[in-house]
Amino acid sequence: MKGITQVVTVELKLIVRDPMSAFFALVFPAIMLWVKLRGGNKPLPGGTPLIDATVPMLIIFVIGLAALVVLPATLAQYRERRVLKRLRVTPASPTMLFGAQWAAHMLLAVLGSWLLIAIGAVAYGLSAPAQLLGVLVAWLLSALSLGAIGLLLGALAPSGRAATVIGLSLFFPMVFLAGVVIPRESMSGSMRAIGDLMPMAPAVEAIRDGWAGGAASPITLGVMVAISVVAGGAALRAFRW
């Protein structure tokens, strides 16, 4: 356990020291929050204050960026630089490696989430989550499901550049169609129908439901669990040192 903790700590330091990763996970979402709230905290169709919808949405943005872009690129770069070859002769197993990488990258997402919440509360009057436990469960399942997809990408991508391109190709359509950048209330029916098919959609739905005080649908939570199991299992099968 001590060894894994040390690996996670080192990996988190390396991630935060990378200017691009730190900027897009910590600074860029805060800029997006400012841009969205420039016109005031107007209620969305349905009455939800804009800030109470935007912060949960951008939290999924941070999780998705860390899971789908930064995480697979890190794994693929380690393979490309033969770091994984050296780890192969150590007691580390693919499961331990995946767990340490997931934990380090999700700690980055935790930092980004807390930064958004702090800015939202201090500058825009963000309401506290009505169902804190529901939000925490939604956050964790979002991190597990999207992280499992990121691990699968990292297991398959031949290089760090390829992993970044593939990750961004998945990430941007999801954030625009699954309700991460554009509130679902403001989307057309066809956009919502397409967005509902994306793995990020249940994450957005669950965390927004918890923040507003509603109970997340068991189907929504079950979909995230299923994605975690299927994508995580596929990543372990596809992994190569």
**What would the DSSP string read from start to end of 201-213?**
HHHHHHHHHHHHT
| Structure letter (DSSP) for residue 191 | H
User: At residue 90, does pLDDT exceed 80?
Assistant: no
What does the pLDDT read at residue 87?
78
User: At residue 171, does pLDDT exceed 90?
Assistant: yes
User: At residue 43, does pLDDT exceed 90?
Assistant: no
Which of 54-63, 83-92, 180-189 has the least mean pLDDT? 83-92
Mean pLDDT, rounded, for 127-132: 94
What does the pLDDT read at residue 20?
83
User: At residue 45, does pLDDT exceed 70?
Assistant: yes
User: At residue 175, does pLDDT exceed 90?
Assistant: yes
Distance (Å, whole) CA 73 – CA 151: 10
What does the pLDDT read at residue 3?
56
Mean pLDDT (the chain, rounded): 91
User: At residue 1, does pLDDT exceed 60?
Assistant: no
Residue that has been written with the tokens 């016109």 in this structure = 39
Distance (Å, whole) CA 143 – CA 45: 28
What does the pLDDT read at residue 86?
84
Q: Look up residue 109 and give its two tokens.
A: 């997402």
What does the pLDDT read at residue 17?
76
On whether the CB atoms of residues 145 and 227 are closer than 8 A, the answer is yes
More confident site: 200 or 86: 200
With 0-12 / 13-18 / 19 or more C-beta atoms within 10 angstroms meaning exposed / middle / buried, residue 240 is exposed
- If phi over 0 gives left and psi between -120 and 50 gives alpha, with beta otherwise, what is residue 125? left
Q: Collect contacts of 16-21 with beta carbons under 8 A, ≥24 apart.
A: 16/108, 16/111, 21/70, 21/108
On whether the CB atoms of residues 95 and 48 are closer than 8 A, the answer is no
User: At residue 95, does pLDDT exceed 70?
Assistant: yes
Question: What residues are paired with 49 via a beta bridge?
Answer: 43
More confident site: 168 or 188: 168
Mean pLDDT, rounded, for 25-33: 93
